[in-house]
Amino acid sequence: MTVRTRFAPSPTGMLHIGGARTALFAWLYARHHGGEFVLRIEDTDRERSTEEATAVILDGLKWLGLDWDGEPVFQAERQPEHIVAVDQLIEEGHAYRCYCSKEELDEMREAQRTAGKKPMYDGRCRHRSDRPEGAPFVVRFRSPDEGETIVNDLVLGTVTFPNVELDDLILLRTDGTPTYNLAVVADDAAMGITHVVRGSDHLNNTPRQIQLYQALGLPIPQFAHIPLIHGPDGAKMSKRHGAVAITEYREKGYLPHAVNNYLARLGWSHGDEEVFSRQQLIEYFDLAAVGKGASRFDQQKLDWLNGHWMREAEAADLVAEVARLLAVDTAAGPDLEPVIASLQERSKNLVDLAEGARFFYTAPSAYDEKAVAKNFKEGTTELVEKFIAGIEAMDDFSGEAAHALIGQVCEAEGVGMGKLAQPIRILVAGGPVSPPIDLTLGLLGKDESLARLKNGLAALKQ
C-alpha cells in the first residue's frame, strides 16, 4: 500500500500555526514512507471562502517547503460526486429525507432539555411516507441505534463512541449542498487517502465518518488525531501566543526550516533532540511518537532554533529574502552575499539581519547622538582626518589595509584602537554597531568609505 495523506484547509481564513503543524505532520508521514501528500481546498462554504485566503494558504505551504503531489483539488468542484453518494445512501436505506421545520426541531430539543436529556434529533422522519409537495427538506444519515463505533487512532489509541449518542447527521442541506462530513468522506475515498492526519478537535466527527464509509462500502482510512497547541499559560492559542498567519512569521524574519523544526517538536519527539535537518525530520518522523497531550507554544524556543539555523544557513540561500526585506536598490552597493555572511553570527532573524545590512546600501543621514557623545572627544576629528589622508594615499585599498592603518594612526598618536575604530564605524554606519571594522570598510570600498567619512565629519561639525 502506498501511503497517501492530505491537508485539507478551508479558505475562510489564513493558515495558522496549528494548521501548518497538521500539514507538516501529514507531509512528514507521507515522505517518511515514500508516499504521496496531496492538497484539497475545502471551499464548499461559498460565502466565506475567498481566493485571497486560498492564495495565502498556498503561499504559506510553499514557503514552508511542504510540496504537494499533483494539482490542488477544490472540493466545491466535486459537488456532483457528493450528490451521487447521497443518492446511493438514500437508495440503499442508509439515508432519508427530513421535512422537519426549524420550529418543530426547536420544540423537540426544548422538550428533551426539559426532560434532562441531551438535545439531539430523534429520527422522527425515518419512516415518514408522505412527501409534502414543494416543502423544503434535508437529507439525513440513518445512524445505527445500537452498538459502538470504534476509532483505532494512531495517536490517541482506541476511542469508543456509543452509537446511541450519535444522532442522524444531516448530509445535504435544504439548498442541495453537501455538509462537511459527507463531502470529506466522499473526497478522501476518491483521492485514495490512506491516513487522515488532523487536529483532535475533529475527533467527534470521526465515528460519523466511519459509519458513512461503512454505509457506502468504502475502505476506511487510518486516523491520527493530533492534540491541540496551547499557549505557554495552558490556555487556548491566541494571537498573543503566536496564533497568527504563518506568513507573518516570514515577515518577522523567521527561516522556514526553523519554523518546521519547531513545529515538529510541538507534540513529536525523538529522544531529547531539539535540532533536526529537513532530511532527519523525514527519516525519524513517526506518528507513534506523537504525544497524546496538548503542546505548549514556546516563543523563546522558536527564537533559539531560528538563531541556530540562521548561523547554519548558507549566505547565498538568504540573499533573495534579505533583499525582499531590505526593499532598497542593492545594485550600487556591495554584493549582498558577503554582507549577509558578515552579519549572520549575531542576527536573531532575517529582519534583524536586513536592518543590520541597510547602512551598506543607504548612507546615514543622521548619527546616533549617544554614540557620538560617547566617542567623539577632543582630538577625535584629527584622528579621523589622519585616517582619511592615509586611505586617500592607498593604491591598493582593502579592509585589512584599512585595519592596519587604524593601528598605525593610533600607535603614532599614543591612543587605543577603539578611539579611532568606533568613530569611523559611527561615521560610515550611522551608529555604534556594524560588522568588524575591517569587513565593514572592505565591503563599502575605498570611494564610499571616504565619502561617508568626509560627509560625516562635515555633518558633525555643523
Active site residues: 239
CB 368 within 8 A of CB 432: yes
Quick one: cell of 451? Answer: 565619502
Phi, psi of 151 (to 5 degrees): -105, 115
**The one-letter amino acid at 326:** L
Three-state SS across the chain? Answer: CCCEEEECCCCCCCCEHHHHHHHHHHHHHHHHCCCEEEEEECCCCCCCCCHHHHHHHHHHHHHHCCCCCCCCEEHHHHHHHHHHHHHHHHHCCCEEEECCCHHHHHHHHHHHHHCCCCCCCCCCCCCCCCCCCCCCCEEEECCCCCCEEEEEECCCEEEEEEHHHCCCCEEECCCCCECHHHHHHHHHHHCCCCEEEEEHHHHHHHHHHHHHHHHHCCCCCEEEEECCEECCCCCECCHHHCCCEHHHHHHCCCCHHHHHHHHHCCCECCCCCCCCCHHHHHHHCCHHHECCCCEECCHHHHHHHHHHHHHHCCHHHHHHHHHHHHCCCCCCCCCHHHHHHHHHHHCCCHHHHHHHHHHHCCCCCCCCHHHHHHHCCCCHHHHHHHHHHHHHCCCCCCHHHHHHHHHHHHHHHCCCCHHHHHHHHHHHHCCCCCCCHHHHHHHHCHHHHHHHHHHHHHHHHC
Burial of 329 from C-beta contacts in 10 A (0-12 / 13-18 / 19+): exposed
Give Cα separations from 185 to 132, 148, 218, 264 (angstroms).
30, 19, 9, 27
Q: Which of 437, 440, 426 lies closest to 334, judged by CA?
A: 440
* Residue 349 CB-half CA count within 13 A: 19
